[in-house]
Amino acid sequence: MLSIVLFAAVLCACTPGGARHKAAAASEADAPAPAADSLCLRDPQRAAGRVAALIGQCAGADERTARARLGELLAEAARDSVSFALVTDLLERCLDDPNSPLRNESCYILYLEELLRMPGLSETDRLGPACRLELARRNRPGTVAADFAYLDRSGRRCTLRDAAAGGRLLLIFYDPACSHCSEMLREAAESPVILRRIERRELAVLAVYTEGDRRLWEATKGAMSAGWEVGFDLDRIVEREVYSVPAMPVMYLLDRGGTVLLKDAFLPEIEARLIDCHDEDNDGEND
């Protein structure tokens, strides 16, 4: 818990949100004194502790409880503009930053929904959260992944819908110029769980380059795993925000027909879900 709280505090102090917090503090110098509980949230360490504890509680709670707790913290912070700037910045970055150990899209969506329900939020201040909420709601687990077109290694035009038609699909958005991508792609290519399912024809892998440099893709596509489909995005899916790609690689696990099982998942999550899916398939055959 300590490292998580420290992460939140560092984010507060070292990002534009920290600057907004200081600016808000300066503008509040002559304002009426806020309630004592709101003043506690002006302190970055206390605010970080509250936010970290709240996110931990929300992650294990049902939607109604999580929504209520998020709403209560926002209402408390809203009594003081300094506290509100700090708390909303921490929630935003802890829940949505790809490097945050507290990142949680379900909680992030609830936070944005509660933020947009606040009566004192101006129309201008609603624009950013509304756009982020719309993007976060796309391609959620249980929905059908948005279709797009890509070139395969041979130069043939293909679509995600076609790739996902035959069975489960591991969809990876990657950048060959990214060293972290290369490491994660190697781990996925060497994963015994993934390899077994590819051999059994229970899974296909589609790795799509989205950054638009055709020459780079042509020069590097041969280095990708021979058992994978490798594509070059034709529909500018990141630029058009068809998919959220906060930090590559981004991995989705799709069920037959393209239904999203996991969104922006880590490899261990994907492996565990594939094992569960295999067990479910076997149970169905036995029935």
pLDDT tens-digit readout, 165-205: 988 999 999 999 988 899 999 999 999 999 999 999 999 99
Q: What whole-number percentage of the chain has pLDDT above 90? A: 75
Band (pLDDT 50/70/90 cuts) for residue 30 is very low
Instruction: Tell the burial category of 134 from Cβ atoms under 10 Å away from its Cβ (0-12, 13-18, 19+).
Output: exposed
**Antiparallel, parallel or unpaired: β 203-209 and 168-174:** parallel
Tokens of 198: 């590819």
Provide the 10 A C-beta neighbour count for residue 2. Answer: 8
pTM for the model: 0.82
Of the candidates 79, 71, 51, the residue with the CA atom closest to the CA atom of residue 116: 71
Considering the chain, what is the average pLDDT of its residues? 87
Secondary structure string (H, E, C) spanning 14-51:
HCHHHHHHHHHHHHCCCCCCCCHHHHHCCCHHHHHHHH
Whether the CA torsion 205, 230, 212, 240 is positive or negative: it is negative
Task: Look at residues 70, 120, 67 and name the one whose alpha carbon lies nearest to residue 90.
Answer: 70
Report the pLDDT averaged over residues 252-281: 91
**12 has a pLDDT exceeding 90:** no
Domain 149-286 top-level CATH class: alpha beta
Residue ranges of the domains in the chain? 2-136, 149-286
Identify whether the C-beta of residue 132 lies closer than 8 Å to the C-beta of residue 105: no
Phi, psi of 168 (to 5 degrees): -70, 145
Query: Distance between CA 210 and CA 245 in Å, rounded?
Result: 9
State the distance between the two ends of the chain, measured CA to CA, in whole angstroms.
Answer: 45
Category of 265 on φ-ψ map: left (φ > 0), alpha (ψ -120 to 50) or beta: beta
**pLDDT (0 to 100) of residue 40:** 77
Residues 6+ apart with CB under 8 A from 277: 168, 255, 261
The per-residue pLDDT for 35 is 46
pLDDT above 70 covers a percentage of the chain that reads: 83
Side-by-side strand order, sheet with 260-262 = 157-159, 149-151, 229-233, 203-209, 168-174, 250-254, 260-262
pLDDT range class, residue 31, cuts 50, 70, 90:
very low
